[in-house]
Structure 1
Amino acid sequence: MTIDTQKTAPETKAVPETVASAFDEFMEAFEAFRETNDRRLADMERKLSPDALTVEKMERINRAVDEQKRLIDQLVLKKARPALGSGAGAAEPSEHKAAFDLYVRRGDEGGLRDVEAKAFSGATGADGGYLAPPETDTEVGRRLAAISPIRSLATVRQVSGAVLKKPFAPAGLTAGWVGETAPRPQTNTPQLAELSFPTLELYAMPAATQALLDDAAVDVESWIAGEVEAVFAEQEGAAFVSGDGVTAPRGFLTETKVDDADWSWGALGTISTGQAGGFRPSGPSDTLIDAIYALKAGHRQNATFVMNRKTQSEIRKFKDADGNYLWMPPAGPGQQASLMGFPVAEAEDMPDIAPGSHAIAFGDFRAGYLVVDRVGLRILRDPYSAKPYVLFYTTRRVGGGVQNFEAIKLIAFAA
């Protein structure tokens, strides 16, 4: 029996409890991946086809790298969450916060009604419920920014109305140089158009036991924020990528797409790989280079690659002409991997590589995509529908869409 003395994939270990130990295991898995992939490429050079066992081993390690990265992300997020205990050293609650706490724990609406009357606010919506204190609304928004990949890259605006309307000049503004005392010729009147970003309702319904609500040591607002953050981020992530713009924000992948050579305002430019459902066998990274330089310099310096983990695992195998890997692991826990010097954002709602799919986006999302948050997180307490549990019907209004069509490019896996 032959014994393989070469380095193999890391053995199954206990789940690491700290971010540092998880990152160490991630780097160990990545080193094993590089060694195995180098062996696969060497086999291809010698025999024109890699050894099947080497390929299988490389894919197994590649999956282990992805799992370790996912674990690091989860540990970093868990570390960022505040404790549920209110604590003796907590700041004195505001009038709104104290009234809201009574409403959540006991269903006492009197305090919140007084707060709304003092603020001349009509916070109660048609479906009932009350606005959460600003502290809770801010905390939910902060956590969403940490775990929603497109939100963390995009420009975020807060509005008090239902729609944000943004004027723009499709042909740009007219400008020119003149001498200090020379007459200023009259410029042409710019033709203005308008982009509209309506906010749409996003909801979740966490449930609590009355025992939890009666426990004075538990910060109920932090508990609600923690319960809704994951489902809100999941729904947002899908909408910002492929939302229809009717029942959810309009995703950038649902915009009109044209070949980048024929690009015009109102559509996103695409760069094709030259092969349906994959990269070209020869020079697969050339498509990535074409996408990078399809952006104007001002957008390129702030650009990010956006793709899911499966696509990233395919690109992780690419090397340049000098044998250096194009994908580099993050420098530390909580940081992003990089591809050809640009950060990589993992968005699991991006499609997989398939014939005709747009599995990779590259662009300056801060300039290219706008997220609109309507101020106010509304909560309706429902102790009747699921007894003995108390439900909290939690809603917020969110919109989004492309605001600059030249700042984002897509890679199309097509001939």
Structure 2
Amino acid sequence: MTETMKTAPEIKAVPETMTAAFEDFMGAFEAFKETNDRRLGEIEQKLTADVVTRDKVDRINRAMDEHKRVLDGLALKKARPALGGAGEGSPEAAEHKAAFSAYMRRGDESALRALEGKAMSIGSAADGGYLVPPETDGEIGRRLSAASPIRALATVRQVSGAVLKKPFATSGMACGWVAEAAARPQTNAAQLAELSFPTMELYAMPAATAALLDDAAVDVESWIASEVDIVFGEQEGTAFVSGDGVNKPKGFLSYTNVADSGWSWGNIGYIATGAAGAFKANGPSDTLIDTIYALKAGHRHNASFVMNRKTQGAIRKFKDADGNYLWRPPATPGQPASLMGFAIAEAEDMPDVAADSFSIAFGDFRAGYLVVDRTGVRVLRDPYSAKPYVLFYTTKRVGGGVQNFEAIKLVKFAAS
């Protein structure tokens, strides 16, 4: 192994391929293991680690985070489909695309008005803008799945109304054993709860100059997607984790949290680490094991860890009794890292480790959390409010909330 691979201080040039980025990441991980093993050996021999070694571990840890960020960026770039070009799609889609481009560039709404009139659409430039063509709408949705990790993990439902109401059986039907000729008493009916998921308006308002819109080489639809996807994804990611439900989705951290031993429907159960603002000194990974087995087997099969980068950096140093690291790098490019065999979703909106913080979530988010998308992304062209710029008021309606309270568990960094 070369000295450069051992230290892995930083990325000096962004790799052009996922294979090269993955090799850099794995090299950094090997350097991390070697240096952290040295740190642990120093602690065992001298009861303290050398300052140089400790700083080197932290430096390589940060370098690994940067390598992973580059690797994830390349995976996202590879996954992005090209918007439909000439000759692609149906004639209707091509007509809509051309009409939408005319509206975006020149404000010519006549073709769009005729098309949406034939489709019996209620959209108009006066009251709400025009629907983005399906190609652009799909592009935004796919990019959001990468920018918002909770969206990628959760169940996503498309609705045409303002609210999705979902019944949920909190308890199954009663049953029992009887003799062949004995009377069959009536069993208790299942208990149902109605969950409501209203959609809230998410907006962005990118601006463009007339010169940009006049440039025939600029793909306006792709530009709109690239302008709004990141900001939409950031806002969604925050709301799905910690949103208070007021004019935004309700995040899973905003529900009432109770110790898992006293869990009841409507609350999110947590496992305490046993130390305020930290893992306990002896057997820190025991908390993670307790959290894993707090989930029922059916949910545990599809579960993932959710935490931010700093928390993952701390857990990356944990070992089992045999000296094996509990954190494992991705097996192949584009795959997530794992902890104790379960995938890790990196969500920067999760809180840092602090006293009484809920910095780690573990659960089957596909069963536990529901994202509701109201069909259609709308764009309203405004050439008047910010002359000489043309504003594009882009809106999307999104809701979200917990749909199964037993499918998600939290780790609380507290004594109890």
Q: State the TM-score, normalized to the length of structure 2.
A: 0.93
- Equivalent residue number for residue 331 of structure 2: 331
Matches within 5 A, 1:257-268: 257-268=257-268
CA positional deviation for 1:408: 0.2
Contact 1:82/1:222 (CA < 8 Å) preserved in 2?
no
- Note the 1:206-285 alignment, pairs <5 A: 206-285=206-285
Alignment correspondent of 1:81? 80
Q: Is the 8 A contact 1:87 1:217 kept in 2?
A: no
Residue pair 2:358, 2:412 contacting (<8 A) in 1 also: yes
Higher mean C-alpha deviation, range 194-203 or range 382-391:
382-391
Letter in structure 1 aligned against 2:114: D
1:25: Cα distance to partner? 1.2
CA shift for structure 1 position 24: 1.4
Superposed displacement of residue 8, structure 1: 2.9
| Structure 2 residue 140 is the aligned partner of structure 1 residue 169 | no
Question: Which whole-Å CA distance do the structure 2 matches of 1:246 and 1:5 have between them?
Answer: 51
Alpha-carbon distance, 1:208 to partner: 2.4
The whole-number CA distance in structure 1 between the counterparts of 2:59 and 2:197 is: 44
Unaligned runs of 5+ residues in structure 2 are none
| Residues matched between the structures, number | 411
1:70 maps to which residue?
69
For the 8 Å contact 2:11–2:63, the answer to whether it is kept is: no
Map of 2:21 onto structure 1: 22
> What amino acid maps onto 2:292 in structure 1?
I
Alignment partner, residue 413 of structure 1: 413
Q: CA deviation at 1:222?
A: 2.1
Contact 2:201/2:396, CA 8 A, preserved across alignment: yes
In structure 2, the residue matched to 1:42 is 41
* Residue type at the aligned position of 2:113: R
* Matched residue SS, 2:41: helix
Q: 1:153 to 1:126 in 2, by over 3 A?
A: farther
Contact 1:33-1:62 at 8 Å conserved across structures: yes
Q: Is the 8 A contact 2:6 2:28 kept in 1?
A: no
Indicate the residue corresponding to 1:53 in structure 2.
Answer: 52
Cα separation, 1, equivalents of 2:309 and 2:303: 19
**Residues 243-392 of structure 1 mapped to structure 2, 5 A cutoff:** 243-392=243-392
Partner amino acid, structure 1, of 2:337 = A
1:355-407 alpha-carbon deviations (Å, 9 max, x no partner): 00000000000000000000011100112223332221100000000000000
Task: After TM superposition, give the deviation of residue 190 of structure 1 in Å.
Answer: 3.2
1:46-85 deviation line (CA, Å, top 9, x unaligned): 111111111011101111101111111122222333457x
Checking the alignment, whether the CA contact within 8 Å between 1:270 and 1:411 is kept in structure 2 is: yes
Which residue identity does 2:22 align to in structure 1? Answer: F
Q: Secondary structure at the match of 1:321?
A: coil
- Letter of the 2:199 partner, please give it: T
CA–CA separation in structure 1 for the residues paired with 2:34 and 2:146:
33
12 and 269 in structure 1: CA distance in 2 versus 1, 3 angstrom threshold: closer
Change (3 A) 1:113 1:7: closer
Computed over aligned residues only, the root mean square deviation of the Cα atoms, in angstroms, reads 2.2
The superposition leaves residues 109-168 of structure 1 with CA deviations (integer Å, 9 ceiling, x where unpaired) of 112222222222212387531111233222211221232100000000010000001112
Q: Which moved more, 1:382-391 or 1:279-288?
A: 382-391
Helix, strand or coil at the partner of 1:100: helix
Distance in 2 of aligned mates of 1:320 and 1:383: 62
* Distance 1:6-1:99 versus aligned 2 partners, 3 A rule: closer
Mapped to 2, the partners of 1:6 and 1:209 lie a distance apart of 47
2:11, 2:66 within 8 Å by CA — same for their partners in 1? no
How far apart in 2 are the matches of 1:107 and 1:205?
Answer: 16
In the other structure, the counterpart of 2:131 is: 131
Secondary structure at the residue paired with 1:294? coil
Q: Identity of paired residues, percent?
A: 73
Corresponding residue number in structure 1 for 2:116: 116
Deviation at residue 7 of structure 1 after TM alignment: 4.2
C-alpha distance in 1 between matches for 2:265 and 2:331: 37
